[in-house]
A and B are shown apart, each in its own frame.
Chain A
Amino acid sequence: GQQLNQSPQSMFIQEGEDVSMNCTSSSIFNTWLWYKQDPGEGPVLLIALYKAGELTSNGRLTAQFGITRKDSFLNISASIPSDVGIYFCAGRPANAGGTSYGKLTFGQGTILTVHP
């Protein structure tokens, strides 16, 4: 099946530092999403990207849809302790025909730990 490679697998940072993580695919995607998962909870959507080159911000979070349509990155500025969690990239591959019915392919996740 489709694979998304997300890196890094984990990060340990100090409060106030900036964070960057990225996701790559071997094939073209037409949607890139970034989710955060808190312990014991389901993923919550942070940012959605629908156009190549699109750069979107949500507070201290900024994400970009790569121009090649095969990658995306997420930046978190001035991290705080509540940023702790698992961050997932997800996307919908571009189809030759038909609809994807919203099915998502997920990356492996980045575990973020923020030390006060």
Chain B
Amino acid sequence: NAGVTQTPKFRILKIGQSMTLQCTQDMNHNYMYWYRQDPGMGLKLIYYSVGAGITDKGEVPNGYNVSRSTTEDFPLRLELAAPSQTSVYFCASRTGQDTNTEAFFGQGTRLTVV
């Protein structure tokens, strides 16, 4: 049972480069989320989706884009990487149909922008 799978696990980008962080879940969850985690800080919500074709901004969306063409996949796009985007990125999913169920997290993608 794979759960939430993120790729890649590590990546180094140069300033101005672009990349897509992949996230896929095999639990048929409607809700998916992208968080970033900076040292000494809690996780902050970047974007979220409540179903295929529906996305919305979280607390820190600037510099990122998302899409949700299928229930399983929720990629996060960085178009012009900046040093401030150096962070660990976590994708999570949640069923969305039961208010007392909580999200499952992927293992994270550690991104360094130099």
Contacts and interface: CB of A to CB of B under 8 A. Distances in A.
B42 A48 contact: no
A108 B48 contact: no
- Label chain A's interface by main secondary structure: loop
A40 interface: yes
Interface string A15-37: 00000000000000000010000
Contacts, number: 61
A104 B45 contact: yes
Contacts of B108: 40-42
Interface string A105-116: 111110000000
Given A42-B105, A44-B105, A106 B94 contact: no
Given A42-B107, A102-B31, A108 B40 contact: yes
Contacts of B42: 4, 6, 88, 90, 105-109
Contacts of B50: 101
A42 B102 contact: no
Q: Closest 9 interchain pairs by CB? A: A106-B42, A42-B105, A106-B43, A102-B94, A1-B59, A43-B105, A108-B42, A102-B31, A42-B107
Interface of B: 4, 31, 33, 35, 40-45, 48, 50, 56, 58-59, 90, 92, 94, 96, 100, 102-103, 105-108
